[in-house]
Structure 1
Amino acid sequence: MKFSALVKAFSLFFAAMACLSVTSAQANNYKSEYKLSIVVNATSPWEQGAQIWSDLVRERTEGRINIKIYRGASLVQGEQTREFTAIRQGVIDMAVGSTINWSPQIRQLNIFSMPFLLPDDAALDALVQGEVGKQLFALIDKAGVVPLAWGENGFRQISNARQAIQLPEDMKGLKLRVVGAPLYMDILTALGASPVPMSWAEAQPALANGTVEGQENPLSIYLGSRLYDAGQKYLTLWNYMNDPLVFVVNKNIWNSWTEQDREIVRQAALDAATQEIAIARKGVAPEDDSVLKEIASHGVEIIRLTPEQHNAFVKATRPVFDKWKERIGPELVEQALQDIENRKK
């Protein structure tokens, strides 16, 4: 072998060893366990999505990245609206979180909570998969958190222990638990209710002892938390909003992983989110209403609104919609309305 070829061969060898050394050193800096936060306690699509992601990451990284799920917002002492800040600060390594809980830090995430903006699943898909979703991911990333995939909590329905809710006047004075987000306070106040902000951990005993009379959540949360045993015997299907979930990683944690592992975690999040959305939509559609049937089997009265009744709620909350359109950003809301109009039904 010529001397120049020998030198080149040695150079390539040492370069490869250097890269391997860097990769190994980086891998050696991995934590033995990564903390993943979710707000819910009970079995639900949300919890299942987090578990699927955790399992896929562990399997595909061959144990290099091990994730432990912390339920009930326990890493922030149950204060779910503090979760996003804790992710930014590194108290939480990873999360599958709701746009509702993170909207106090990123006001544009309130777009999904705009009253009666989303008429169906296709509308939500149009937003998260289109320009609106891209802009929101950019804002989350700019805030120091790496967004990887969109999941889904589901359309939120309203239940209470007092009476059937068919029109806004049926909500007058009703004490309803809500997340501590201003938009929710405005919506329920506009409908004549008395919103009571509290964490979900606080809400369940409050419902059971009558401190609050009602709540709003997806059917999977209602069923998983057995709210029919907490006096919630009237359940109105009004589909007033749907909060997506976001699979995220703290940016410093993300940067500590090799490029190969980052791609594995990203793809695992996308795969888990696809499965989670399918689980969230199962049993709550006209062609498959098994979740509703199970709820009804517990003596719950399920109220389905007529178009006229539904429009009464839309009209009553229109001033809130207009107010928050300005706060969120008219351009983003108009983009959302356009994407919804052009969706594939």
Structure 2
Amino acid sequence: MGKMLLIAALASLAAGSAVAQDLKDEYRVSTVLPAPFPWGQAAEKWAELTAERSDGRINLKVYPGTQLVQGDQTREFTALRQGVIDMAVGSTINWSPQVTELNLFSLPFLMPDYAAMDAITQGEVGERIFDIVQQNGVVPLAWAENGFREVTNSKTEIRKPEDMQGLKLRVVGSPIYNDMFTAMGANPTQMSWADAQPALTTGAVDGQENPLTIYTTLNMQDLGQNNITLWGYVADPLIFAVNSQVWDSFSADDQELLRQAAVDAGAFGIEVARKGLTEDDQSLIDEIRSKGVNVVTLTDDEKQAFKDATASVYEDWKQKIGPDLVDAAEEAVANR
């Protein structure tokens, strides 16, 4: 009996060693933005919690600036699916060229507030989107947030679509953004963020659209971006995800550890992304105004003019995304 127990104990130790040997020294996590941006903070928190909860067995290293795909944000999902990247905290916008349904979050004025975004991501629609992502070869674990995207420029105050006539605005590399800004009369130009910063500095482009956490961290008022319109036309939820083969290499316990660490890091990231931008805390907006920036908040009637201008884009993309999915999202928003 004693001999059998010894054999069992040795077998257990051998199994444990095999699991340890199967783990990589480092799992590469791709993001677009580093800390101190909320995006980078969420990714770093995932790495921190994973290391802590695995007693250092699982080492995630964050590679910001999409450096693992030479800075091309729209290639990140493909690289993750192919295993060039192990894991990512990725943008629904940047992944939408490969997963059309992710354009849901870029439908103009679908989500009027944070409660609407939560109603989609944290409910049945969010589960359906995760199923779709998984069918595309990537395992999604949790949501984080880059935030609502506001438009800024160096030329003029924007209160109506006519104010955007001829403005050269940097937009992200997803076709729906070209469609939206063209419909509003602007001259959209797609470029990576790495290219956008010098373009804003030199005045090669007049403006851009991004969450205010990015505006403030980069001090965009120093790039001439002294007009901001708060319109919350789209938001950019983020997804913690793992390459499917990498995911399958983990034990069930480690999979659960990674998933829960992502959920907790995502909640942290969302809190950071919304700080100073909620109805009961406008401190970030106040800080921006204190730097001499003209911050415009659209009235309901003013916002409706932009909705009307982009209504045909909304309907066109609803068909591409899938009417059933969009209908479910609209219902979730209405019932929030």
Measured against the shorter chain, the TM-score band is over 0.9
**Alpha-carbon displacement from aligned partner over 1:268-327 (angstroms, at most 9, x marks no partner):** 001111111111111012311111112112221001111111110011000000000000
Structure 2 residues not aligned, in runs of 5+: none
C-alpha contact 1:42 1:224 (8 A) present in aligned 2: no
Match of 2:156, SS? coil
Alpha carbons of structure 1 residues 17 and 135: separation in structure 2 relative to 1, 3 Å: farther
Q: TM-score, normalised by structure 2?
A: 0.96
C-alpha contact 1:35 1:69 (8 A) present in aligned 2: yes
Match of 1:239, SS? strand
Work out which of the residue numbers 302, 327, 341 in structure 1 matches 2:334.
341
Corresponding residue for 2:175? 182
User: Greater CA radius of gyration, 1 or 2?
Assistant: 1
Letter in 2 for 1:163: T
Corresponding residue for 1:26? 19
**Alpha-carbon displacement from aligned partner over 1:38-81 (angstroms, at most 9, x marks no partner):** 11246211111111111000111111111211111111111000
Q: Does 1:165 align with 2:161?
A: no
Match of 1:63, SS? coil
Corresponding residue for 1:152? 145
Letter in 1 for 2:227: Y
- Find the aligned partners of 1:13 and 1:131 in 2 and give their Cα distance: 50
Alpha carbons of structure 1 residues 122 and 25: separation in structure 2 relative to 1, 3 Å: same
Corresponding residue for 1:259? 252
Cα distance, 1:14 vs structure 2: 4.7
Corresponding residue for 1:138? 131
- Find the aligned partners of 2:29 and 2:213 in 1 and give their Cα distance: 21
Corresponding residue for 2:95? 102
Corresponding residue for 1:124? 117
Alpha carbons of structure 1 residues 134 and 205: separation in structure 2 relative to 1, 3 Å: same
Work out which of the residue numbers 224, 227, 236 in structure 2 matches 1:231.
224
**Alpha-carbon displacement from aligned partner over 1:198-231 (angstroms, at most 9, x marks no partner):** 0011101110101111000111011112111111
Corresponding residue for 1:295? 288
Work out which of the residue numbers 320, 324, 327 in structure 1 matches 2:313.
320
**Alpha-carbon displacement from aligned partner over 1:116-166 (angstroms, at most 9, x marks no partner):** 000111111111111111111111111121110011111110000000000
Corresponding residue for 2:66? 73
Letter in 2 for 1:256: S
- Find the aligned partners of 1:54 and 1:84 in 2 and give their Cα distance: 20
Corresponding residue for 1:3? none
C-alpha contact 1:42 1:221 (8 A) present in aligned 2: no
Work out which of the residue numbers 86, 89, 95 in structure 2 matches 1:93.
86
Alpha carbons of structure 1 residues 267 and 42: separation in structure 2 relative to 1, 3 Å: closer
- Find the aligned partners of 1:216 and 1:274 in 2 and give their Cα distance: 24
C-alpha contact 2:33 2:64 (8 A) present in aligned 1: yes
Letter in 2 for 1:152: E
Cα distance, 1:17 vs structure 2: 4.7
Letter in 2 for 1:56: L
Cα distance, 1:15 vs structure 2: 5.6
- Find the aligned partners of 1:18 and 1:260 in 2 and give their Cα distance: 19
- Find the aligned partners of 2:16 and 2:246 in 1 and give their Cα distance: 15
**Alpha-carbon displacement from aligned partner over 1:232-259 (angstroms, at most 9, x marks no partner):** 0000000001110001111111111222
Match of 2:278, SS? coil
C-alpha contact 1:87 1:94 (8 A) present in aligned 2: yes
C-alpha contact 1:26 1:256 (8 A) present in aligned 2: no
- Find the aligned partners of 2:35 and 2:26 in 1 and give their Cα distance: 23
Q: Does 1:53 align with 2:46?
A: yes
Structure 1 residues not aligned, in runs of 5+: 1-5
Cα distance, 1:24 vs structure 2: 2.2
- Find the aligned partners of 1:234 and 1:149 in 2 and give their Cα distance: 34
- Find the aligned partners of 1:43 and 1:224 in 2 and give their Cα distance: 8
**Alpha-carbon displacement from aligned partner over 1:59-104 (angstroms, at most 9, x marks no partner):** 1111111121111111111100000011111111111111000000
- Find the aligned partners of 1:229 and 1:182 in 2 and give their Cα distance: 29
Identity %: 54
Corresponding residue for 1:114? 107
Corresponding residue for 1:244? 237
Cα distance, 1:26 vs structure 2: 2.3
